[in-house]
Amino acid sequence: MAKDKIAYVCSNCGQESTKWIGKCPNCGEWNTFKEIKVAGNTATSSILSSERFGGSAKQAAEMKPIRLKDIPYEDYPRIDLNDKELNRVLGGGLVPGSLILLGGEPGIGKSTLTLQTILNLPEYKILYVSGEESAHQLKMRARRLESRKEQSEKKDENVIILCETSLDKIIDHIQNVRPEIIIIDSIQTIHTDSVDSGPGSVSQVRECAATLLRISKSSGIPIILIGHINKEGTLAGPKILEHIVDTVIQFEGDQHYMYRILRSIKNRFGSTSELGIYEMRQDGLRQVNNPSEMLLAQDLSGLSGVAISSAIEGARPFLVETQALVSSAAYGTPQRAATGFDQRRLNMLLAVLEKRVGFKLMQKDVFINIAGGIRVTDLAMDLSIIAAVLSSNVDTPIEQGWCMAGEVGLSGEVRPVNRMEQRLAEAEKLGFTDIVIPRYNMQRIDKTKYNINLHPVRKVEEALRILFG
């Protein structure tokens, strides 16, 4: 019997060490290293030597080195999940034999998204392992997600619910049921007897995930793990598993808003630049095919402090409404607050406005909000942030039908941004008539392809002169 080894793992970033360290050298956090016992191969070897997984384990033991050019190339047939947003984030569908981690804050809608997806796959036998909810609770949620009872009963036929937290018993049920897709909700509740610690600990999560990875690779069954994280990301779960799983997708959004964003953080079978957008409703999550329409208000005429930016998040263009409020500081120190935007970059843009343009904002409060409750990291938002701040400061609205895209540098110059053609096409599709863009981007744009007026600028002063006269 293999002897257990002692290791130390940072619960914040997953950094490993042979001894305890007060400060993590990777993420810089203090007192995050936890002691774990690395169990021997007794549990997993018994699993792989079973009737179902024995063939693959034997083949793996007889594997020999092979030249790269001699390896046959074939594209894996993906499983269509009947969800355009989820298929886009996964890279085209679910790959057989893949291990996927779906992470997010508690209550964000991970279980709802997973259950809604498997109910739309009546042709596949699916094993749903629930360690948090009872079978009756899952039945109630499934009824809420379905509009018609007849359709629900037809879709529920191949969905098998298992309320179990013991990994050894779950493996026995997998061998008996022989499912085509497995859902584990959630990985923090699963435990194995080979590790002497409670469920949710670092050692339990790592051992259970490693065992499920071997099962997935040896049997070809795709497994989706659901993991909870808090706002700091310090819970032992997704951060520990990121290097084990094939794909990590993050489900995020403000619980007070109805929109959710699905991002791909790691994907061995596709791009990580895609994202999906959902709207949380009473009957489940609805796919948002055109996010620009949901992020724009119906009527912006006569409203100061509002600017529209043509942004790109991942590989997807959409128009975002930027709101700003500038008022006199009621206290000694002016307040700077940003929702959905980097506050440090806001401070930099306000310094550019004061130093390069000449607007004094030292004694004024500045509040920034990105409409819709989403968080945008595109640098092309800089121009709209400055325009919205100035519009609120002078209480002058921007004309309707205008949008902008451009990065602002420390010298007050408007720097070029990527994928300008996609930004122009999205703005033109939504009926915008004018757009302010960096002058450098004009070199690669064919004006005859667009029916929108282009206003190239080189400095922030030029953009503000065009917008406000």
What the block records as the tokens of 231 is: 């706002």
Taking only the tens place, the pLDDT of each residue in 353-394 is 999 888 888 889 999 999 877 888 899 999 999 999 999 999
CB 414 within 8 A of CB 442: no
Which residues sit opposite 313 in a β-bridge?
316
CB 33 within 8 A of CB 10: yes
State the pLDDT at residue 291.
79
Q: Identify which of 9-13, 45-49, 119-123 has the greatest average pLDDT.
A: 119-123
Question: Residue 234 — very low, low, confident or very high, per pLDDT cuts 50/70/90?
Answer: very low
What the block records as the tokens of 347 is: 């401070």
For 56-87, give the secondary structure using H, E and C.
HHHHHHCCCCCCHHHCCCCCCCCECCCCHHHH
Taking only the tens place, the pLDDT of each residue in 292-348 is 877 776 666 778 999 999 999 877 888 999 999 999 887 778 899 999 899 999 999
Taking only the tens place, the pLDDT of each residue in 58-79 is 454 456 888 988 888 777 789 9
pTM across the whole model? 0.76
Question: Residue 34 — very low, low, confident or very high, per pLDDT cuts 50/70/90?
Answer: confident
Beta-carbon contacts of residue 396 (< 8 Å; ≥ 6 apart): 304, 468
Residue 44 has pLDDT above 90, yes or no: no
Residue 215 has pLDDT above 80, yes or no: yes
